[in-house]
Structure 1
Amino acid sequence: MIPVVVLATVDPVLRETAVLSWLTDRPGTGVLRQDLDPEAGMLRRVVGDEHGVVEDRSRPADRGCPGCVLRENALPAVAAMVKSGRWQRIVVALPVSAASVPASRPLADPFARRRLGIELATVVSVVDVDRVEDDLMGDERVGQRGGALAVGDRRSVGEALAAQLGHADLVLTTGSNPVGLTLVDHLRGIRSARRELHQTRVAELFAARHSARSAAARLDPRTLQPSSVPDAHGVWTLDLVSHRPMHPERIMARLADLAGGRVRARGRFQVPTRAGRLAVLDGAGGHLSIGDAGRPATAVGTRVLLTGTGPERAQRRQVFAEMLLTDDELASGRDWSTVDDGLDDWLGPR
């Protein structure tokens, strides 16, 4: 089996630093770099190793679905590298700001693994902790960093980075800022690890085995869990939990007070107007969204995780409490199915 590592970052310099470090440390490693040019509608694929570039080609790409492009091209590109017999291990370096899910899921598929003779070893996110607070909490957009993946890509750097941190098996860091290190530990997913980039041997990355089940649990709002790392250096996480649904009118009135601004927000909630449906909340980098997550198999209640560095922790806890249904509202016997909750634009029609 040829082990494969998937690399995601929001910084092109960090991407090249990691790749060059690994090539130097472990000859016989092939690297697949993928980059999207949204204006031209092209995907560029560069394959190389410690000796230089072996292949550099571009092909048309779907302008509207960068995730689809990466998913559809990851397997054929890796398959060609394996078939060449040239490399003992492979790094898939994703376009800057790209989420790691679209490329890693097909590589982890058991059928693809057997057919191609590959094993997804580790999904890696590389982060500069000296700037991670501003990256996560600021409002800079990926396009300002040259990381737009589609025409009209308006994601913030924080959105892209939060998605990468949440999915990674391993977060590799540069820098030493204790606030940044603590933020990374609060935001990386369950059953993940953090190490320093230049103190990590390549052999460790390729010796691991990616767990698709654990990766899915890290992203699933039904299995959302806070980090076990304590608050420190001004970094805090609020774990807001209740069996009560949220009041639909107070959601719209208070959502920005709860989860807006310089905070990373993720969670799930239910509203009485949509019995049996689960809604999700996700926010970073000044952007905040809610959406429908379908029908959960079991009752999961409301749970929101807020991670920040500002002074508003107690205020946000109070806002959460005020958004929930009160005892009187729960006991009122009101027929919520007849209430226009104003959430169709976010959660879809009932």
Structure 2
Amino acid sequence: MSLSVVIVGGLHADARRATVARLLADVPGGVALHHDLSTAPAGTVVRTVRDAGGVLSAGETPLVNDCACCALREDLVPELRRLADDGTTRLAVVELWDSVEPKAMAEVVVAGGLTVTGVLTAVDPALLLPCLGNGDDLADVGLAAAATDQRTVADTFARQLEYAPVLAVVESGEADEEDRELLAQLHPTARRVLVAAGESPASARAYARGTSSELVAAALAGFDVEAAAAAQHPACALLPAEADAHGVSTFVWHRRRPFHPERLYAALEDLTCAAARSRGRFWLADKPDTLLHWDAAGGALCVEPAGPWLASLPDAAWDLVPPVRRAAAALDWHPEHGDRCQHLVFTSPGLDRDGLAEVLESCLLTDAEYAAGRAAWQRLPSAFDTLLEV
């Protein structure tokens, strides 16, 4: 019997536990592995293995390089291999601790020679906006995975949500249509599976006897680590499309002309606070060869280089570029600028589309600045150098 590994993550702990309980109830012989990183300050990580009936084993593993996530990586694959070699376990559910991101763990498991058949993020729609609006550092709320962890609640949750192709939706009863619509617009390509809240293993088993489980089907549908990574890369990410329903809007702004670095820098705070979530790619007139990644949540913005635009590379280098990246560039190629573009997406309740568009347009080069040409563009003040740590 081959072992299928399903990864279930998310900051919404109650939703995550309900999802794992349902999977264990639906799959005879399934087990769940959970590494509790809350004990990391004491120097250890606690691993628990359980099935639908309760805890099977528990143990501690020491920190590695003062990093709880490193300890998880060192301990998880051997434990999964032990289950695979035993041959009696059909499904291993890896229940991630609150702030652990599924991308890293999926890649670790696959690199260890095991098969990941699904990655799910468990979500309570009522908690969606509070999480995306929470700019607190993980360290300040006791959720840091290492002493050097500088992530925030908002950006961590956004990555957990957007990486997973399946969202296990566990409603606490407080969600409304706006919450559900926000979830749909933030990750429109995700498969959303409803899971009953507060299921005990016993009640989940009783429910499962009378119904086929869409959750199990989604968990075992298959998962491609390389495709998932490509879908998150700023150069070829499949960003949400325009939408407007139940008070929630997604505004897609796409232009070819480069940004004036000083004017864009001056507008960053307004643009960052304009939406619960914004992301995309952009280019600056003084850095025409650098693809820049825009990633904002919780009132904080991360801007970082994401490599070169393909148009800046010599032809010989194109063979080294992944096919998905070349295909994405070809679909959006411009005769003058190649794949260089502004492609920013803003999603939020109560979004001021017109105000956003006005600010963004004002940050582009004017007709006179644009006509001056690239040599003049590159003499513009490099306002982003400090932010980009150039």
Q: Using a 3 Å threshold, how does the CA distance of structure 1 residues 69 and 189 change in structure 2: closer, same or farther?
A: farther
Deviations 1:177-218 (A, max 9, x none): 21121111111264x311212395453134301122431232
For structure 1, the 5+ residue unaligned runs are: none
1:232 counterpart residue number: 245
Contact 2:243 2:251 in 1 (8 A): no
Q: Match of 1:277, as an amino acid?
A: T
1:316 counterpart residue number: 356
Question: What is the deviation of 1:307?
Answer: 0.5
Q: Match of 1:125, as an amino acid?
A: T
Deviations 1:2-29 (A, max 9, x none): 1111011102222222222222222211
Q: Does 1:35 align with 2:36?
A: yes
Q: Does 1:275 align with 2:288?
A: yes
Q: Does 1:156 align with 2:156?
A: no
Structure with higher Rg: it is 2
Deviations 1:62-108 (A, max 9, x none): 46655545444432232122123331111011110221111001333
2:180 counterpart residue number: 181
Equivalent in 100, 106, 109 of residue 107 of structure 1 = 109
Contact 1:260 1:288 in 2 (8 A): no
Contact 2:242 2:252 in 1 (8 A): no
SS at match of 2:245: coil
State how far apart, in whole Å, the 2-side matches of 1:150 and 1:261 are.
Answer: 31
Please say which of residues 140-149 and 207-216 is displaced more in the overlay. Answer: 140-149
SS at match of 2:41: coil
**CA RMSD of superposed structures (Å):** 2.5
Q: Using a 3 Å threshold, how does the CA distance of structure 1 residues 73 and 315 change in structure 2: closer, same or farther?
A: farther
1:194 counterpart residue number: 192
Deviations 1:127-175 (A, max 9, x none): 0012212222344554565433233645433222211111001001122
SS at match of 1:208: coil
Contact 1:222 1:300 in 2 (8 A): no
Q: Output the TM-score relative to the length of structure 1.
A: 0.88
State how far apart, in whole Å, the 2-side matches of 1:226 and 1:14 are.
Answer: 26
Contact 1:9 1:161 in 2 (8 A): yes
Q: Using a 3 Å threshold, how does the CA distance of structure 1 residues 335 and 227 change in structure 2: closer, same or farther?
A: closer
Contact 2:274 2:356 in 1 (8 A): no
2:121 counterpart residue number: 125
State how far apart, in whole Å, the 2-side matches of 1:287 and 1:63 are.
Answer: 29
Contact 2:283 2:292 in 1 (8 A): yes
SS at match of 1:218: helix
2:46 counterpart residue number: 44
Contact 1:71 1:102 in 2 (8 A): no
State how far apart, in whole Å, the 2-side matches of 1:62 and 1:250 are.
Answer: 45
Q: How does 1:52-67 map to 2 (within 5 A)?
A: 52-62=54-64
Q: Output the TM-score relative to the length of structure 2.
A: 0.80
SS at match of 1:44: strand
Please say which of residues 46-55 and 237-246 is displaced more in the overlay. Answer: 46-55
Count, aligned residues: 342
Deviations 1:15-74 (A, max 9, x none): 222222222222211111022244234332212212332332222324665554544443
Q: Does 1:293 align with 2:306?
A: yes
State how far apart, in whole Å, the 2-side matches of 1:8 and 1:89 are.
Answer: 16
Contact 1:265 1:305 in 2 (8 A): yes
Q: Match of 1:184, as an amino acid?
A: L
**Percent of aligned pairs with the same amino acid:** 28
2:328 counterpart residue number: none
State how far apart, in whole Å, the 2-side matches of 1:121 and 1:217 are.
Answer: 18
Q: Does 1:347 align with 2:345?
A: no
